[in-house]
């Protein structure tokens, strides 16, 4: 089968790989109907990597698939079921797994990072990582399940109250999901801070009330009687100094983006003086079913974010577009040929 692998640091390859086989009795063999390129894939492929992955691994961690074969003990699934997948496979045995913090698992296997992922025609996944979706949920909406699940877990921490003002730093896909869901959850005003004009316009389309350049920070204060926002969310992974400056005293900061190649300079006394609460949020925890339930309401607005529909072999086109920020959501169809329209 065709697959996109991490050949070595900073380099991918579109190549042939053997078909995966059922290994454990609870495995599902899945045909990948669609997969999408995430910002983390760019971090994995940069040199030095902003997010290290294992060489030789099949990349990709966001997908919608169809079960084509199941192990004898794979429970709750039938051949033909459509599924999305939690790509972080916890061990279930370590201190954190047994303390209800599976996202902190000490032995986690992350598909698309240290185990084979979804930029391929087929994939083997454990049944407990799969979540069934309905037959009529469009592929173009279901494909958002993985990143949206991570955002849902972040929202669970920040607990926005109706009327509150939130600043979202960065209008990449994650920033746009936050802007959309914060409004959906009743935020009074969502202000997105983003350098790119195209992305600022997208943020407005996704429901943000205002989209400003980071250097226009005065607008945030003017709009909040000089106090700063109730909540600031950093989706870029390097903007804690800005977040500390833009949040009001006693406000909340959610650090969501990750960039291990970036360093920040910060006087922590501002955090003390303002009595800030800072949450880290790493991947998704137990919000998969809620995420799928939300997607089953078919939020059409998400489709606006799809800028590219490509074959797996055209990975390079999507990758470059993500890198130069002309793309938001790049969908790859590993098992389809020809023109790619809106699809079920």
In the set 26, 36, 43, 281, the catalytic residue is: 43
For residue 191, list its beta bridge partners. Answer: 167, 210
Is there a catalytic annotation at residue 43?
yes
How far is Cα 305 from Cα 203, in angstroms, rounded to an integer? Answer: 10
Min dist CB 62 to Zn ion, Å, is 6
Work out how close the CB of 296 gets to Zn ion at its nearest, in angstroms, rounded to a whole number: 21
Nearer to Zn ion, 91 or 139 (CB): 91
Q: Tell me, rounded to whole angstroms, the distance of Cα 231 from its chain centroid.
A: 20
Residues that bind Zn ion (CB under 5 A): 38, 40, 90-91, 94, 97, 105
Q: Which is nearer to Zn ion, 9 or 94 (CB)?
A: 94
CB of 245 to Zn ion, least distance (A): 28
The residue (of 9 and 91) whose beta carbon lies closer to Zn ion is 91
Q: Is the peptide bond prior to 116 cis by the omega test (within 30 degrees of 0)?
A: no
The backbone torsions φ and ψ at residue 257, rounded to the nearest 5 degrees and listed phi first, read -65, 155
Residue the block writes with tokens 């045995």: 93
Those residues whose C-beta lies under 8 Å from the C-beta of residue 272, and which sit 6 or more positions away, are none
The residue from 40, 123, 281, 287 that is catalytic is 40
Distance CA 93, CA 96 (A): 8
By beta-carbon proximity to Zn ion, the closer residue of 149 and 165 is 149
State in angstroms the smallest separation of the CB of 41 from Zn ion.
7
- Can you list the positions of beta strands (E) in 71-142? 82-85, 88-89, 109-110, 122-126, 130-133
Residues identified as active-site:
40, 43
């Amino acid at each position: 089968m065709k697959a996109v692998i991490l050949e070595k640091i900073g380099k991918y390859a579109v190549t042939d790989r053997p078909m995966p086989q059922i290994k454990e009795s609870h495995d599902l063999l899945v045909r990948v109907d669609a997969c999408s390129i995430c910002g983390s894939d760019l971090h994995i492929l940069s040199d030095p990597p902003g997010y290290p992955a294992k060489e030789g691994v099949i990349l990709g961690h966001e997908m919608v698939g169809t079960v084509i074969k199941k192990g004898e003990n794979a429970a709750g699934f039938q051949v033909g079921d459509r599924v999305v997948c939690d790509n972080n496979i916890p061990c279930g045995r370590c201190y954190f797994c047994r303390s209800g913090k599976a996202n902190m698992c000490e032995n986690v296997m992350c598909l698309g990072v240290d185990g084979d992922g979804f930029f391929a025609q087929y994939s083997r996944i454990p049944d407990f990582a799969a979540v069934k979706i309905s037959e009529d949920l469009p592929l173009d909406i279901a494909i958002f399940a993985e990143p949206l699940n991570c955002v849902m877990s972040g929202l669970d921490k920040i607990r926005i109250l109706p009327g509150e003002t939130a600043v979202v730093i960065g209008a990449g896909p994650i920033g746009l999901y936050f802007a959309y869901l914060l409004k959906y959850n009743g935020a009074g005003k969502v202000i997105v801070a983003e350098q790119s004009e195209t992305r600022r316009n997208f943020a407005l389309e996704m429901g943000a009330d205002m989209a400003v350049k980071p250097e226009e920070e005065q607008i945030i204060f003017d709009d909040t009687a000089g106090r700063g926002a109730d909540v600031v969310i950093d989706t870029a992974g390097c903007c804690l100094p800005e977040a500390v400056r833009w949040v009001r005293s006693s406000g909340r900061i959610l650090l969501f983006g990750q960039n291990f190649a970036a360093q920040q300079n910060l006087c922590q006394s501002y955090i003390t003086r303002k009595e800030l609460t800072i949450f880290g949020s790493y991947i998704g925890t137990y919000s998969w079913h809620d995420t799928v339930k939300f997607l089953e309401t078919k939020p059409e607005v998400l489709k606006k974010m799809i800028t590219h529909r490509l074959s797996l072999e055209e990975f390079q086109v999507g990758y470059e577009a993500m890198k130069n920020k002309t793309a938001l959501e790049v969908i790859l169809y590993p098992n389809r040929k020809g023109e790619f329209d809106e699809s079920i």
